[in-house]
Chain A
Amino acid sequence: MSARGAVYDRGYRPYDGPRGGRAASVLALYKASVRRAVGLRRSWRQKFLPLGLLAVVSVPAAVNVGIGYATRNSPLEGFSFFTYREYVGVSSALLLFVAVCAPDVVCPERRQRVLPVIFARPLTGTDYVAAKLGAIFSLVFAFSLLPQVLLYVGQTLVSKDGSLHYVSQHADVLWKVPVAVAALALYYAALSLAVSSLTARRLVAGASVFGLVIISSVVAHILNEAGALGGRGPLFNLLSLPLVVRDLVFLGHVYPQSPLAGVAGAGALAVVGYVVVVAVSVAVLLWRYRWAER
């Protein structure tokens, strides 16, 4: 009988497998950024804020559904705290969410000087911006949509006249909500990322996002009070600008009770304002990460 044995060389193995191109790199960066913002693969502390906020924002939906259920056979039926329209863009929560997440996906990479190592790889500045934008957009979109879904599904289930009836009654919600949410998500993602890309410190970035928006609302208020610009002051309010767009999606026109009602061309101007904000933000981002552009 012969003995058999071998010692294997655990040395270096070259890689011969498939390699993705730029698209694969962008996707990888996108996934890594999403993971980072949500706190996956990191300590529990990191997960707390985003998920906590999500829970907070979903509470009204749950409450609404609960009330709908409880009152379904009573004279109070059909009562709801808020409409779908109003629920889209629970602005302060959204703002808080992006003010936390956006800095987290761009500031540490700048601060810890990881960028040279990232750009030594086969991707360009544009790719980087696309991945980060995509990540925050996805997160904000999901963050805003989830409570809506909760609300819709809940209402459908507790509806007195049956689910199908509810669905046919509220069919327009099925497309209006996602579109409005997407518009908001893009807006907030671009804005918060652009501001965050200007600094390496997360706290400064988050505070700046808040600060910028608050200041703009103050400016808008002042303009409005002063009656300047023919009442178009509120368009400068970064916080409410996307909400006007939302109203356009839901109602087809400016909300009657908003300060812009009655202002000529307010709707069109709001759209222009929205586009300007997003475009400028993207331009800032591309400029900040231009050094890999060749």
Chain B
Amino acid sequence: MPRGLVGLVGANGAGKTTLFRLLLGLARPTEGAVEVCGRAVAADPVGSRARLGYMPEHDCLPLDQSAADVVATLGELSGLPPRAARQRASEILDLVGLDEARFRPVGGFSTGMRQRVKLAQALVADPELALLDEPTAGLDPTGREEMLALVARLASFGISVLLATHLLDDVARVCDHVVMLDAGRLVVAGPTETLLRQTGKLTVEVNAGVGRLARALADRSLTVVADGPFRDDEGGSVDVVVGTDPGPVLDTIRDVLADLGLPLHRLSSRAGSLDEAFTLGGTLDGSGGAGPGGWGP
């Protein structure tokens, strides 16, 4: 896995926890070898942990100590001298947005605040690689955005991140690369950008006149993918197939819109969501049996 922000997704039981344990040197591989940050884990499992930070999914903080105390103690446990640990604890807690609350006992914190303390303890020892397990779990939309913004900044601090999550949207927003695991095997790995852009289609959404748009585009020899009958005057969207050179197609679309006087609401590459890349990439039908139609009563 390359430097930067890597997303790790997979079905439950696909091996995510095992992978984390392997990276932390807490488990030994039956076959093969693990290298983290350029060093083989097997040679010095304990020492290689010094360069890692781990943020578990579950609650993992002593509830009766203050946030500053918890993070400082964990920093000392990572080998930092006591004074440095306290300083860094303060700095990191400020960074994650807990400067005021940091002297209050963790037991009184909300979910969002606890997630931040968990992130802080993973960062206090200045790791090279941070392993984050579902950092947005339990957070409301605002909290989730703030957490993702924090995670996105980690790369600029020189910290690589392995982000395990069930939310493909988190990965799409924040990660440069994505790795998918299925039943212990690697399924898809690649920069998020390319995975997202796999579809080769453009979406044009207008506030009115979608039928006329579709016809006019077809008249100009563009391949329009129909998603059902288009009403002439209603708002809606059409997908246009784009070949290797999108430029002329874009210009044609613009000209058609201008000629017809249609209000352009959105023009973007058909957001191949990560979902599609996910299901395209392998036999990812969960615990067996979901055919192309999914489930159904």
A-to-B contact residues, CB < 8 Å = 10-15, 17-22, 24-25, 28-29, 31-32, 41-43, 46, 108-109, 112-114, 116-124, 291-292, 294
Which one of A20, A120, A121, A294 has the highest number of Cβ atoms from chain B below 10 Å of its Cβ? A120
Tell me the minimal C-beta distance from B297 to chain A in angstroms: 39
How far apart sit A42 and B49, CA to CA, in the bound complex (Å)? 30
Our count of residue pairs bridging A and B at CB distance below 8 angstroms stands at: 113
Identify 5 new A-B residue pairs, CB closer than 8 A, beyond the known A12-B153, A28-B76, A113-B58.
A11-B95, A15-B80, A19-B79, A28-B82, A32-B76
Q: B232 within 8 Å of A by Cβ? A: no
Measured CB to CB, the closest approach of chain A to B21, in angstroms, equals 9
CB of A294 within 8 A of CB of B81, answer: no
Q: In the assembly, what is the distance between CA of A29 and CA of B77, in Å?
A: 6
Answer yes or no: B46 CB below 8 A from chain A CBs.
yes
Tell me whether B81 and A122 are in contact (CB under 8 A).
no
Count, chain B residues at interface, CB 8 A: 45
> A41-B69, A42-B65 given as contacts; is B54 within 8 A of A120 (CB)?
yes
In this complex, what residue of B is CB-closest to A19? B79
**Residues of B76-116 contacting chain A, CB below 8 A:** 76-82, 84, 88, 91, 94-95
CB of B179 within 8 Å of the partner chain: no
Residues of B within 8 A of A292 (CB): 26
Binary contact track B217-259/A, C-beta < 8 Å → 1, others 0 = 0000000000000000000000000000000000000000000
Q: Which B residues are in CB contact (< 8 Å) with A24?
A: 76, 79, 81
A18–B25 CA distance with the chains assembled, in angstroms: 23
Question: How far, in whole Å, are A222 and B74 apart by their CA atoms in the complex?
Answer: 49
The residue that A19 contacts in the complex, of B25, B26, B50, B94, with Cβ under 8 A, is B50
Q: Is the interface of A mostly helix, strand, loop or mixed?
A: loop
Binary flags per residue of B52-67, CB closer than 8 Å to A gives 1, else 0 = 1110101111111110
Q: Are B52 and A120 in contact (CB under 8 A)?
A: yes
Decide yes or no: A294 and B77 within 8 Å by CB, A15-B125, A116-B56, A117-B56 being known contacts. no
Are A41 and B77 in contact, CB atoms less than 8 angstroms apart?
A: no
CA distance A32 to B82 in the complex (A): 11
Which B residues, 136 to 157, have Cβ-Cβ distances below 8 Å to chain A?
Answer: 153, 156-157
Query: What would 16 A/B residue contacts be, using CB atoms closer than 8 Å?
Result: A14-B158, A15-B88, A15-B125, A15-B126, A19-B80, A24-B81, A28-B77, A41-B66, A42-B64, A108-B62, A113-B60, A121-B125, A122-B78, A291-B26, A294-B26, A294-B45
When A and B form their complex, which 9 residue pairs have the shortest distance between CB atoms, in order from nearest? A28-B76, A120-B54, A15-B126, A12-B157, A19-B79, A20-B79, A122-B50, A294-B45, A122-B49
Which residues of B have CB within 8 Å of A32? Answer: 73, 76-77
Whether B210 sits at the interface, judged by CB under 8 Å, is no
Partner of B74 from A18, A43, A121, A294 at Cβ < 8 Å: A121
Instruction: Tell whether A120 pairs with B24 under 8 Å between CB atoms, given A12-B157, A15-B125.
Output: yes
B54 and A122 contacting across the interface, CB-CB below 8 Å: no
Q: Which A residue sits closest to B76, measured CB to CB?
A: A28
Cα-based distance from A15 to B73 in the complex (angstroms): 16
Q: Please, which residues of chain B bring their CB within 8 A of the CB of A112?
A: 59-63
Residues of B within 8 A of A12 (CB): 91, 95, 153, 156-157
- Cβ contact within 8 Å between A25 and B91: no
Task: Give min CB distance, A182 to chain B, whole Å.
Answer: 27
Residues of B contacting A108 in the complex (Cβ-Cβ under 8 angstroms): 62, 64
B121 within 8 Å of A (CB atoms)? yes
Assembled-state Cα–Cα distance A12/B95 (Å) = 7
Contact A109 B62 (CB under 8 A): yes
Minimum Cβ distance to chain A for residue B72 (Å): 10
Residues of B within 8 A of A109 (CB): 62
- Per the bound structure, the CA–CA distance linking A108 and B60 in Å amounts to 10
**Using Cβ atoms and an 8 Å threshold, which residues of chain B touch A123?**
46, 77
Residues of B within 8 A of A117 (CB): 54, 56, 60-61, 74, 121
Chain B: minimal CB distance from A86 (Å)? 38
Residue of B nearest to A23 (CB): B79
Check: B28 CB closer than 8 A to any chain A CB: yes
Closest CB of chain B to A9's CB: distance in Å?
11
A residues less than 8 Å from B27 (CB atoms): 294
Q: Give chain B nearest CB distance to A122 CB in angstroms.
A: 4
- Tell me the nearest residue of chain A to B124, going by C-beta: A15
A116 to B17, CA, bound (A): 12
Q: Return the contact of B49 from the options A14, A17, A121 (Cβ within 8 A).
A: A121
